[in-house]
Structure 1
């Protein structure tokens, strides 16, 4: 039996062709953060709107296609670039809300944990909270401390508050950074070196992140309040630290995009999902690659000329317009990135070259 759907103007979301026969009102919203309850960025579709161009809009048979079916809506999780929120209101009943988001590393660790711990067979595990190690930092490195002649475990913070980091030891330097508190951050500091060196970026095709450069490594922290650049700049990085790793095969390439610069990290110890080259239109297959690109906003200069790009999603021929790849302009973020960019790139270049990797600057 066929299941015919229209593709909505949002990757991964489809609408059944007989949606008008349903008495349940449905609204599809671009999600922001199910965990924090932040408001969605915009509405993708509401059943009260109908779909006026159904005659011209192509249909697709989705029978047998794995995905989440909610009333007249089908969500293919693998095709989602960002999350969606689905609101439903059956006649005479309470409204319901469902969030669907691409998988992140925390839930991947949860799946691994549940695969290895069968609570159905071992009642002692049932209804127990997930172990703290799942939320603790994942990157642990052993380094010799020359000052004290012993090994010290280097641990990235799993809950960085404000701009604070947990204390850590670094080879030959004793204590690298002391943890700070929010109260400390509210007082004036005479030592700017206590602040982390970071730029605010958009990971290509996904969410906003902080890239943090320290003497010992480059770290990545996701910012969960997508679309709120002002808040991102005010709060600073906090959350799980993910660490890059550099060796002789690592490559870092710098280039420009319409309103800033891009940093591409290849074979640097962190994977991403990408559509295969020359993949047919509509494919949901993704390759896992150690290849990540981050776009950072920067003010216009004599060498960097800005041009406009669209801020909306579109699926003309199942393709995503340029705006999907780049961050929306924000003057404050651009000025912050400009103020720290030289120091950040110098620190990153040192990390790559010290590991015998390659560094290419293709900026104008």
Structure 2
């Protein structure tokens, strides 16, 4: 069985458009949450959102390439460009070698709605536009990036709600571990437009703390009132250890465990048993003990039920070992389909730079979770092993463990 290492990471998010900006935001506990006034015009309860600026791709891609890219595809493209550079992979390598792509994405709402509007107004399908179909499919990211970068390996999209990005990395890890592929571009992307958020807002899921956007995302805090939607793109390039050594790549970390489970319960309400099983499986597969994990980037989205059930699961598995815990969603909001990948990137930056990012806005933790070791402020710490949790609607759970090499 092959060892699986990380040789490239890239990020485009509300706390930074590249690794340097994001690293600084994490260290400073800087929030990327703001207001989108258009949402109020459309009847949203909450105008809160992660603020992500659209990239200008005119100098980077042809018009034909841009036409097929959805919003989240643009974010994923920017993140992948950066990750490829970090990994030392150029166009010549991609053209000659069998490089795959597995990306997490579970919606493409805006292109679908816009296509319907065109049809409703003009009553002519030929006026919808040639790029619409490639933007509106769930596989929009992988179909576009695989053609832009001329990839010839595995090529598919993982749709697993808010665990999509994490499962994409986990599945890539399994393929490389088993010898089916040597190098895969993995990641997660999330559109951030109001078209994609109306149904969530209708569930009264979002925070309405609009008077103080930067303090609205409050994972584990008893005074939280809901999550904040966010998005962007995050890429993690993984390959076999042998491949990385052969081409002289800089190895950033090694994936050693992937745990997963299904709650087998309510479609939206979380439980404790499912996440507990995912955590236990990741530790078992990694062949390490609970006290070997020094940091956990929690899924914690700032919802009452979700934060509490995850906290109890962590306590069940890690007990007295007390790893440092924070949720980077306190700064980014919930990046949804992207989150499982972005939080690996965030944690990699912490491991590389020797710190644990704070769980900002955490002032009064739930009484049941007071035994957990929360990072209330930035903590200077050498991290050798971290774990990242991602959970989603339908009860899908994913836990990834990465160690320093």
Give the shorter-chain TM-score range: under 0.3
TM-score where L is the length of structure 2:
0.21
Which structure shows the higher helix fraction?
2
- The one of the two structures with greater contact order (alpha-carbon pairs below 8 A, sep at least 6) is 2
Scaled by the length of structure 1, what TM-score is found? Answer: 0.23
Q: Is the strand fraction higher in 1 or 2?
A: 1
